[in-house]
Amino acid sequence: MMLYKSVLKPVLFRFDPEFIHDLFTDAGEFLGRHSLGRSLTGLFYNYRGKDISKTVDGIKYRTPILLSAGFDYNGRLSRILDRVGFGGEEMGSVTARQCSGNPKPRLTRLPKSQSILVNKGLKNEGVDAIIKRLKATPCNRDLVTGISIARTNDAKSVPIQAGIADYVYSFRKLNEEGVGDYYTINISCPNAFGGEAFTTPELLTKLLEAFKKVPCSKPVYVKMPINIPWDQFNSLLKVIDSFGLNGVVIGNLNKDYESLEFRAEAPSVYKGGLSGKPCTHLSTDLIYKTREVWGKRFTIFGVGGVMSPETAKEKFDAGADLIQLVSGMIFEGPELIKKIAKSL
Ligand SMILES: Cc1cc2nc3c(=O)[nH]c(=O)nc-3n(C[C@H](O)[C@H](O)[C@H](O)COP(=O)(O)O)c2cc1C
């Protein structure tokens, strides 16, 4: 099914990326609501080969490929993503209060660089609205639902204590309501009001001390930045280890604009972070080093520039237990997930 790349993509890429994203979300939600929509989507895109399921931290994933955070940020696609071959999704990032996002443009496609410049600013409806939606949505046993938690992107949550309280509000609510199969603490959003405050060992310690006070029986991971030196990265791993968390998602967007292959297609004023191909090697190297230094201590979700079966294999070879992707699906189409699954 090359329908997406050869027919749809050239048309879709003429329109505003956020408009297209909303259109796909509406369509995906609609298809997921109806058994015919689910069946037809599955007919074209689902993986039906040998068993490639994987159990990680007690959770069984039908395929080891997840949709990365940022695509289904309001939790509207949990009834359809399994039909596209995903074994799970990381929903969100959700925040304690509703966020309307940064001023537009929030997304800029960089087709030659196979990247998206993301300056979304954590646009989402807020954790309470998302919990309400998920509780009203029939459970989908074929799709693991991870929920990414971030700090609300506004001035109110910038002071450190307020920021911690903001994160913990969402975590507590999700646990109390029993929503989500695992949780990821997103400390590395590049385009939020208060910056990446919790990427120092001292402040990450304070944040995790507060998380620790909330009863939680599900796996918890931390989403890592990819532009910090190994020493700093490793010092964050030491903190994560000391709190007994299950693992890490490696990692978030690339904030080094110099690494862009075709600078001419990018806006002159940069804001945000780069997804896709510019993330590939930075994240794979950090996955490899983490596995080398820490052995099996951490579960690793490998994310960043998975654009093909080959780049997926690189992530697994480097030591990832599971992979996540978003840009690969946008540039290569939903058939990419089945292609990767078949190659495993
Ligand atoms: C449009 C968009 C929005 C994103 N929003 C989030 C987010 O809210 N939280 C988060 O942890 N990561 C977010 N990310 C980062 C992705 O989850 C992922 O880490 C990054 O894009 C690298 O993966 P990729 O190369 O497969 O896109 C976003 C990425 C994109 C493209």
What is the rounded average pLDDT for all residues in the chain?
A: 93
pLDDT the model gives residue 186: 95
Instruction: Tell me if 324 sits within 8 A of 146, measured CB to CB.
Output: no
pLDDT score recorded for residue 303: 98
Gap between the Cα atoms of 29 and 50, Å rounded: 28
Host domain of residue 134? 3-343
pLDDT tens, residue by residue, 88-114: 999 999 999 999 888 888 899 999 999
Residue 1 has pLDDT above 70, yes or no: no
Query: What pLDDT score was predicted for residue 194?
Result: 66
Which of 162, 128, 203 lies closest to 222, judged by CA?
203
Contact yes or no for 250/188 (Cβ under 8 A): no
- The band of 5, judged by pLDDT with boundaries at 50, 70 and 90, is confident
Please state the rounded mean pLDDT for residues 116-122. Answer: 90
pLDDT band (50, 70, 90) for residue 28: very high
Would the pLDDT of 193 be above 80?
Answer: no
- State which ligand 1 atom lies nearest to the alpha carbon of 249: 19
- What CATH number is attached to the domain comprising 162? 3.20.20.70
> Which of 123, 254, 326 for mutating ligand 1's site (highest number of atoms within 8 Å of CB)?
326
Pocket test for ligand 1, best of 114, 275, 331 (most atoms within 8 A of CB): 275
Q: What is the pLDDT averaged over residues 201-229?
A: 97
Query: Measured from the CB, is residue 290 less than 6 Å from ligand 1?
Result: no
Q: Is 223 in the pocket of ligand 1 (CB under 6 A)?
A: yes
pLDDT at 144: 97
Q: State the pLDDT at residue 154.
A: 86
Beta strand 182-186 with 144-149 is parallel
Protein residue whose Cα sits closest to atom 27 of ligand 1: 327
DSSP 185-238: EE---TTSTT-SGGGSHHHHHHHHHHHHTS---S-EEEEEPSSS-HHHHHHHHH
Residues in contact with 274: Cβ distance below 8 Å, sequence separation at least 6, in sequence order: 110, 113, 115, 116, 117, 118, 253, 254, 255, 256, 257, 259, 260
pLDDT band at 2; cut points 50, 70, 90: low
Cis peptide before 93, with omega less than 30 degrees from 0?
Answer: yes
Closest listed residue to residue 153, CA positions, set 190, 206, 105: 190
Tell me how far the alpha carbon of residue 327 lies from the centroid of ligand 1, in angstroms.
8
* Nearest ligand 1 atom to alpha carbon 324: 26
pLDDT on residue 124: 94
Read off the pLDDT band of 10 (50, 70, 90): confident
Reply yes or no on whether the pLDDT at 190 is more than 80.
no
Q: What is the rounded distance in angstroms from the CA atom of residue 19 to the CA atom of residue 106?
A: 11
Question: For residue 6, what pLDDT is reported?
Answer: 81
pTM of this prediction?
0.95
pLDDT in tens, 257-268: 888 889 889 888
Give the mean model confidence (pLDDT) for residues 35-49. Answer: 93
Which residue in 222, 205, 208 sits closest to 146, CA to CA? 222
In this structure, which residue's CA is closest to atom 5 in ligand 1?
A: 70
Q: Is 186 in the pocket of ligand 1 (CB under 6 A)?
A: yes
Q: Measuring from atom 21 of ligand 1, which residue has the nearest CA? A: 275
pLDDT tens-digit map of 300-334: 999 999 999 999 999 999 999 999 999 999 999 99
Locate the DSSP E strands across the chain: 54-56, 59-61, 65-67, 88-94, 107-110, 115-118, 144-149, 182-186, 220-224, 247-250, 273-274, 299-303, 322-325
CA of 36 to the centre of ligand 1 (A): 30
Beta carbon of 315 within 6 Å of any ligand 1 atom: no
Determine the residue type at 266.
A
Q: What percent of the chain clears pLDDT 70, i.e. is strictly above it?
A: 98
> Does 121 contact ligand 1 (Cβ within 6 A)?
no
CA of residue 46 to ligand 1 center, whole Å:
23
| pLDDT band for position 156 (cuts 50, 70, 90) | confident
Q: Is 122 in the pocket of ligand 1 (CB under 6 A)?
A: yes
pLDDT above 60 for 166: yes
Task: Give how many domains the chain has, as a whole number.
Answer: 1
Is residue 70 lining ligand 1, measured as CB closer than 6 Å?
A: yes
C-beta of 120 in contact with ligand 1 (< 6 A):
yes
Residue 150 predicted with pLDDT over 90: yes
Q: Whole-angstrom Cα distance, residue 323 to residue 321?
A: 7
Ligand 1 centre distance from Cα of residue 243 (Å): 25
